[in-house]
Amino acid sequence: MKSTKLIYLEDSYQTNIEATVVNITKIGKKYSVILDQTIFYPQSGGQPADTGVIEGETGKFIVDHVKLDDGLIIHQGTLEGTVEPQQKVTATIDWNARYKNMQTHTAGHLIDEAVKNLSPEFQGIDGMHGINNQQYIEFNGFINESYKSEITDYLQKNKNLDQPIISETVTLAEIKKRGILLPFEPSKNKPVRVVSFGDNPPVPDAGTQLKNSNEVWPILLTDFEYQDGNTRIHYTLTPPAKKELPETKEATTKDTSLAEFQQQIDALANEIKQDEVLSNEAFQQKYSSKKGKFNQLAKSIKSVSPKDRGTAGKLLNQLKLTINSQANKQADTKKQEWFDVTLPGIKPQLGHAHLISQTIKEVESIFASLGFVRRRYQEIETDWYYAEGLNIPKDHPARDDQETFYFSDNVVLTAHTSNGQLREMEFLKEPPIKMINIGKTYRRQASNTHSPMFHQFEGLLVDKNINMSHLVGVSNYFAQHYFGPDREIRLRPHHFQFTEPSFEVDINCNVCKGTGSIHGHKCKVCKSGWLELGGAGMVHPTVLKNGGIDPNKYSGFAFGWGIERIIMMKHQVTDNLRQLYTDDLRFLQQG
């Protein structure tokens, strides 16, 4: 048989079509009809099949399912009257159902675009858009639920932007010409169906799509589910206006008053008390099982009017606590009766220090091996130690570099650990000073790579005859002990108010071995062969003076680098600093 012509690919908004019946067969009570061309979409790619009718002069065929079988679209359903091969018929889809399917399907793709925008490493690998009432997009790897608001923001912005959605069929030649990237190898004789949203690059998709993103109802991300190392983001669409909602059953059934609901709760609580004598299994079965009395009562909360539902929910929660504590009591009694002394004990789970704490310790010990003393100076600081004393006068543009949180004109949350320099000079009064000040720092910033709170370590060495070669030596020592023996640093001229001369210290990238490219492609980790470690320089004479040290007798160097930054550099993570602050055990247990 010749393959069915797929008219739904040409226009997803077409609702009916004239066609000729190619074949009709009966299996059990159901019929299968094949047409020469169709607008019925067969269930696939997570999108449910269309439903509708196929009508001829002599009969009507009600389509309740559609599938694709080796190039043929099989319409399945029930027959009223007769439909014969060669007969001309009109095929009409249930447009409301189709439109809803397209909304759900397009919404899924918009979520895919939004997540890809977070980071290209997340790839959509599967999706369900309404089949068996499931609506989710599945991504490879772990996406923390804390991204929910960022994804939602992106969706709100882009979905409302009037993004045209273009579905098209592209040949291998076009794929090559336009540089379309596909997650599979396209073949010469099989063109590929792709869809693109606004300016985003096309992605493979064989379903039907809305023509514009603004037709999708607001998307609500409901749940992040983790399975076999992948993340399913479940979603639902929220109808924009009440009046468009179909009449719900809930509204027509009789409401239970809160008082009645309370009575039912009390009755059940009484019954529970009396059932103290029941065996543990029987108790669980009666009250806590799926079909148990608690769940039955919980379901009936729907009939309480919405304004009282919050209170009713609280009552239910209390009841649940009563049931649980009763069940525990019974389980305890039982345990006492049946204590098996031969059972092996349960090993307590042991934790370990957080990756940031581990790194702080490591940095501390690398510098300790050079004789630097660990300090931790205050995070709430006066303007003098934080800026003025470091040669950053009020109104100096350098103040704009750091998005500082101010408590008052004179008191700040430290945006760097450099305040430790003056504090240490004052504390020791006389060199030699060899300090490593590790502490929390705060800035008005929040993104994938910037957190409002992060950690810095500030080195300060002041003594007689200290020069830049000492700075280079210490930096190299640190690079080789923290990152690895084959690493080295370079100094790049820069400006800081509290050092002269000032530098940015870079460290060579170990992915591209400092060359900036891998097999002719730009290195994705560093882009240039070097990664920026942070600022450093020779302590400015004014700063020494402000710390009470004679710049004619002594000189020194200082540097200020980030703990999170060196962690990310070491693990070649360039874009998800926030994972360091989540409570996700799968991430934290790696350390």
Judged by the rule CB under 6 A, the positions of this chain that interact with ligand DAH are: 416, 418, 458, 496, 499, 534-537, 558-560
Closest CB to ligand DAH among residues 499, 555:
499
The torsion angles phi and psi of 319, rounded to 5 degrees, stand at: -60, -40
560 three-state secondary structure:
strand
Q: In the complex, what is the shortest distance from the CB of residue 492 to ligand DAH, in angstroms, rounded to a whole number? A: 12
Closest CB to ligand DAH among residues 45, 534:
534
Closest CB to ligand DAH among residues 44, 476:
476
Nearest to 396 by CA among 412, 383, 380, 405: 383
Closest CB to ligand DAH among residues 326, 418:
418
What torsion, rounded to 10 degrees, do the Cα atoms 102, 108, 114, 118 define?
-160
**What is the C-alpha to C-alpha distance for residues 197 and 104, in angstroms, rounded to an integer?**
15
Per the CB < 8 A criterion, the answer to whether 434 and 373 are in contact is yes
Q: In the complex, what is the shortest distance from the CB of residue 488 to ligand DAH, in angstroms, rounded to a whole number? A: 20
Query: What is the CA angle 47-52-55, rounded to 5?
Result: 145
477-502 core/surface letters (b: 16 or more CB in 10 A; e: else): ebbbbbbeeebebbbeeeebbbbeeb
Count of beta carbons in the 10 Å neighbourhood of residue 239? 11
Closest CB to ligand DAH among residues 319, 536:
536
What residues contact 384, with CB distance under 8 A and at least 6 apart?
A: 422
Q: In the complex, what is the shortest distance from the CB of residue 171 to ligand DAH, in angstroms, rounded to a whole number? A: 53
Query: Burial of 240 by CB count in 10 Å (0-12 exposed, 13-18 middle, 19+ buried)?
Result: exposed
Count of beta carbons in the 10 Å neighbourhood of residue 2? 9
Nearest to 456 by CA among 372, 382, 291, 566: 566
Q: In the complex, what is the shortest distance from the CB of residue 390 to ligand DAH, in angstroms, rounded to a whole number? A: 8
169-192 core/surface letters (b: 16 or more CB in 10 A; e: else): ebeeeebeeeebeeeeebeeeebb
Closest CB to ligand DAH among residues 315, 461:
461
Closest CB to ligand DAH among residues 85, 452:
452
Q: In the complex, what is the shortest distance from the CB of residue 533 to ligand DAH, in angstroms, rounded to a whole number? A: 10
What's the N-to-C CA distance of the chain in angstroms?
60
Closest CB to ligand DAH among residues 106, 456:
456
Closest CB to ligand DAH among residues 74, 533:
533
Cis peptide before 432 (omega within 30 of 0): yes
Q: In the complex, what is the shortest distance from the CB of residue 563 to ligand DAH, in angstroms, rounded to a whole number? A: 12
Closest CB to ligand DAH among residues 213, 418:
418
Q: In the complex, what is the shortest distance from the CB of residue 534 to ligand DAH, in angstroms, rounded to a whole number? A: 6
Query: Which string of DSSP letters, residue by residue, matches 2-54?
Result: PPPEEGGGT-TT--EEEEEEEEEEEETTEEEEEESEE-PPPSBTTBPPP-EEE
**What is the C-alpha to C-alpha distance for residues 311 and 307, in angstroms, rounded to an integer?**
9
Closest CB to ligand DAH among residues 115, 390:
390
Per the CB < 8 A criterion, the answer to whether 470 and 434 are in contact is no
Q: In the complex, what is the shortest distance from the CB of residue 508 to ligand DAH, in angstroms, rounded to a whole number? A: 20
457 strand-pairing partners: 438, 561
Q: In the complex, what is the shortest distance from the CB of residue 354 to ligand DAH, in angstroms, rounded to a whole number? A: 22
Closest CB to ligand DAH among residues 256, 499:
499
Closest CB to ligand DAH among residues 85, 432:
432
Closest CB to ligand DAH among residues 558, 580:
558
Q: In the complex, what is the shortest distance from the CB of residue 305 to ligand DAH, in angstroms, rounded to a whole number? A: 57
Q: In the complex, what is the shortest distance from the CB of residue 414 to ligand DAH, in angstroms, rounded to a whole number? A: 9
Rg (C-alpha) for the chain, rounded Å, is 34
Closest CB to ligand DAH among residues 55, 458:
458
Per the CB < 8 A criterion, the answer to whether 418 and 460 are in contact is no
213 three-state secondary structure:
helix
Distance of CA 249 to the CA centre of its chain: 36
23 strand-pairing partners: 34
Q: How many angstroms separate the Cα of 108 from the Cα of each of 100, 104, 105, 113?
A: 12, 6, 5, 9
Q: In the complex, what is the shortest distance from the CB of residue 501 to ligand DAH, in angstroms, rounded to a whole number? A: 10
**What is the C-alpha to C-alpha distance for residues 115 and 151, in angstroms, rounded to an integer?**
6
Q: In the complex, what is the shortest distance from the CB of residue 401 to ligand DAH, in angstroms, rounded to a whole number? A: 7
**What is the C-alpha to C-alpha distance for residues 75 and 272, in angstroms, rounded to an integer?**
54
Per the CB < 8 A criterion, the answer to whether 101 and 115 are in contact is no
